[in-house]
Structure 1
Amino acid sequence: MAERISGIRFDRVSVAYGGGSGATVALESLDLTVEPGEVMALLGPSGSGKTTALRAVAGFVRPTSGRVFIGERDVTDLPPHRRGLGMVVQQYALFPHMRVADNVAFGMKAQKVPKSEIPGRVAEALELTGMAAYARRHPRELSGGQQQRVAIARALAIRPGVLLLDEPLSALDAQLRSGMLAELARLHRELPDVSILYVTHDQVEALTLADRIAVMDRARLQDVGTPQNLYRRPRTEFTASFVGNANLLPVTVGAGHVTFGKAELKVDTPHEAAAGATATLCVRPHLVGLGDGPNSLTGEVAEVQWRGSTHRLHVDVDGHQVKADLRELRDPPAPGERVTLHFAPQDAVLLAAGVSEDG
């Protein structure tokens, strides 16, 4: 469906509001490339710079310094309507007085697409998003999920090389969000040449959809990689805590082991981790088991949470809380009970001393 195959490149892009010492930096020296056909998620908390980065691509924000490229074109100084982008925002921004087909056609009319082409492209976009049967309806006659599909159809109808999605699922309830994640994944498979920049603060969305994730915090890029690498081998404490749940345990590095409280734990220590240095050990809660085993930790149960298919145990070990996600237990331990937890050496990641969330 896409007529253009384009990627996105941020070349040291900064955005600041105000001047002098009172300036607010919303994005600082972002160097990042979204490859043609790639889904890149910008993941981070509010104020991290992710939406500013997307708006810089869209043309709604002018970089204070640096350049933005779409494909080989420097678009930094181009107005939004000349960038050839499709965009879907949180509230969909459908025109309430227009029927679905007219909403989808709007962008093509603005781009002066020949009138003879518009009906076919509207039908194609609605078919692609599963909304062909709703072409004559008004937005008020649609559910939230259906309105979102129409917004996506409108963005795709202009046949963009780049699609920008700004927290498109945030207004949906949990069940609709899950269904739309599956739909967006299907769309990506059917439109392999469209590059997608997807802004979200939801780690599940990023892990589900993205080919790569760029982790943002405090206006800066903190980490970038595949979902699997960021989850299994995070580089910083911030990445470990924001991409999935994590136990982050303060340790002292030894030769082939680390010390946590009174426990000596066997883990893979990187070559640059000097003996005696302080570091942080990252262990995912679902990789922590109950009972004796390698790398045992003994402590007192502080809290037990039932989560349907799992119980989450919060265990106080030497003044630090360790989380364990266990398949639903018939007889879970009670708060105040002493238990032993364990994890395999290969399931722990040592975040070397000196590598903080500031990179």
Structure 2
Amino acid sequence: MSSGIRFDGVSVAYGSATVLDSLDLTVEPGEVMALLGPSGSGKTTALRAVAGFVRPVRGRVFIGDRDVTELPPHRRGIGMVVQQYALFPHLRVADNVAFGMKAQKVAKSEIPGRVSEALEMTGMAAYARRYPRELSGGQQQRVAIARALAIRPGVLLLDEPLSALDAQLRSGMLAELARLHRELPEVSILYVTHDQVEALTLADRIAVMDKARLQDCGTPQELYRSPRTEFTASFVGNANLLPVRVGDGQVRLGEAELKVDTAGVASGVTATLCVRPHLVGLGEGTNALRGTVAEVQWRGATHRLYVDVAGQRVKADVRELRQPPGLGESVALHFAPEDAVLLSAGVAADE
């Protein structure tokens, strides 16, 4: 049965410290929503409020049409996978997967079939008789996911489930989680992460959190291509955030006059120009910026150039160059008008 999640003005505090402030957010039935933000942003607290591990001081939490704010965790019908998997070391894999069903008093005759189904779905059927200590980190994570799925939840909560894996395993598990979501389209998933690649890869929508508050929410494409705030632009993908002057339909960075859409930005103000490094080209072209090379980094398929332009450092990711420009060399950069977004000035996140 499909269930969504709704936060209705949810606030959580520890003493005088507010760690989640007035969160209004809806996860639609069958949707993958990523909560993305730095440490201390409130994202894990929001997930724990859904799980029932923390109680809001204000607001209500709904799963489907049920107000679950006062319900204990075991009555909420959710599956959860945490960072360290929390498998019972003295139980074999099959018994770990069965544990949640036994706690929910599922009929004994149903449990073996559901254990087999969950292990098959996560590619762990051959490991049913092993103990957690006999598994790799990636295999333990699959068992934790199987245990969460075995109770057939309407809602699956994932709290940074890939953070303990190395880069290669993490990439493989991202593909596995995407596959599981395709096979279980009725399950709503709330996915907490500080890793933008995970959020961009898996989520239908991303909720960007900072300083205990929701800062932005949208599809990965919306937040990446047309961020609404400097914080979103800097946290969802890498971005050049350059202060510019706006006046009479003109946008200027130093002495350079740029062609950029100024809709929604008042004339006579300082604004922020957002353009992604991979959309900045080397050489003459529209919206040319001239500056001095401060640093060159080889990144395999690309070179990352850092160029000082009008007192600002501009990043450009250009296809690998046989002869990259040298430090101190004067160069021109350019970008297309449609590849830039003009933002009202604000405080950008630290990179």
TM-score, normalised to structure 2, is 0.98
Letter of the structure 2 residue corresponding to residue 142 of structure 1: L
Q: What SS does the aligned partner of 2:191 have?
A: strand
1:352 alignment counterpart:
344
What is the number of equivalent residue pairs in this alignment? Answer: 349
1:7 alignment counterpart:
4
Q: Would you say the 8 A contact 2:234–2:348 is kept in 1?
A: no
Select which of 202, 213, 220 maps to 1:209. Answer: 202
Instruction: Kindly state the Cα deviation for residue 67 of structure 1 after the two structures are TM-superposed.
Output: 0.2
2:296 alignment counterpart:
304
1:268 alignment counterpart:
261
Taking the aligned partners of 1:159 and 1:5, their CA distance within structure 2 comes to 10
Q: Would you say the 8 A contact 1:257–1:268 is kept in 2?
A: no
**Structure 1: gaps spanning 5 or more residues:** none
**Structure 2: gaps spanning 5 or more residues:** none
Letter of the structure 1 residue corresponding to residue 162 of structure 2: L
1:236 alignment counterpart:
229
Structure 1 stretches of 4+ with a deviation exceeding 4 A read 355-358
Deviation string, structure 1 residues 243-275 (Cα, Å, up to 9, x no partner) = 0000000011133331111111000111x3221
1:339 alignment counterpart:
331
Taking the aligned partners of 1:228 and 1:298, their CA distance within structure 2 comes to 30
Taking the aligned partners of 2:347 and 2:301, their CA distance within structure 1 comes to 34
1:139 alignment counterpart:
132
1:110 alignment counterpart:
103
Q: Would you say the 8 A contact 1:222–1:357 is kept in 2?
A: no
Instruction: Kindly state the Cα deviation for residue 212 of structure 1 after the two structures are TM-superposed.
Output: 0.1
Taking the aligned partners of 1:345 and 1:256, their CA distance within structure 2 comes to 13
Letter of the structure 1 residue corresponding to residue 144 of structure 2: A
Instruction: Kindly state the Cα deviation for residue 52 of structure 1 after the two structures are TM-superposed.
Output: 0.3
Letter of the structure 1 residue corresponding to residue 193 of structure 2: T
Q: What SS does the aligned partner of 1:160 have?
A: coil
The answer to whether 1:163 aligns with 2:151 is: no
2:88 alignment counterpart:
95
Deviation string, structure 1 residues 26-62 (Cα, Å, up to 9, x no partner) = 0000000000000000000000000000000000000
1:186 alignment counterpart:
179
Q: What SS does the aligned partner of 1:335 have?
A: coil
Select which of 258, 281, 285 maps to 1:289. Answer: 281
1:322 alignment counterpart:
314
Q: What SS does the aligned partner of 1:334 have?
A: coil
Q: Would you say the 8 A contact 1:256–1:266 is kept in 2?
A: no
2:69 alignment counterpart:
76
Taking the aligned partners of 2:83 and 2:31, their CA distance within structure 1 comes to 21
Taking the aligned partners of 1:27 and 1:357, their CA distance within structure 2 comes to 21
Taking the aligned partners of 1:10 and 1:33, their CA distance within structure 2 comes to 6
Letter of the structure 2 residue corresponding to residue 344 of structure 1: A
Instruction: Kindly state the Cα deviation for residue 183 of structure 1 after the two structures are TM-superposed.
Output: 0.3
Q: Would you say the 8 A contact 1:294–1:342 is kept in 2?
A: yes
The answer to whether 1:173 aligns with 2:163 is: no
Instruction: Kindly state the Cα deviation for residue 309 of structure 1 after the two structures are TM-superposed.
Output: 1.1
Q: Would you say the 8 A contact 1:43–1:202 is kept in 2?
A: yes
Q: What SS does the aligned partner of 1:329 have?
A: coil
Deviation string, structure 1 residues 269-292 (Cα, Å, up to 9, x no partner) = 11x322111110000000000000
TM-score, normalised to structure 1, is 0.96
Letter of the structure 2 residue corresponding to residue 308 of structure 1: G
Deviation string, structure 1 residues 195-228 (Cα, Å, up to 9, x no partner) = 0000000000000000000000000000000000
Instruction: Kindly state the Cα deviation for residue 356 of structure 1 after the two structures are TM-superposed.
Output: 5.9
Taking the aligned partners of 2:40 and 2:71, their CA distance within structure 1 comes to 26
Task: Indicate the RMSD between aligned Cα atoms, in angstroms.
Answer: 1.1
2:50 alignment counterpart:
57
Q: Would you say the 8 A contact 2:265–2:343 is kept in 1?
A: no
1:42 alignment counterpart:
35
Instruction: Kindly state the Cα deviation for residue 336 of structure 1 after the two structures are TM-superposed.
Output: 1.1
Identity %: 84
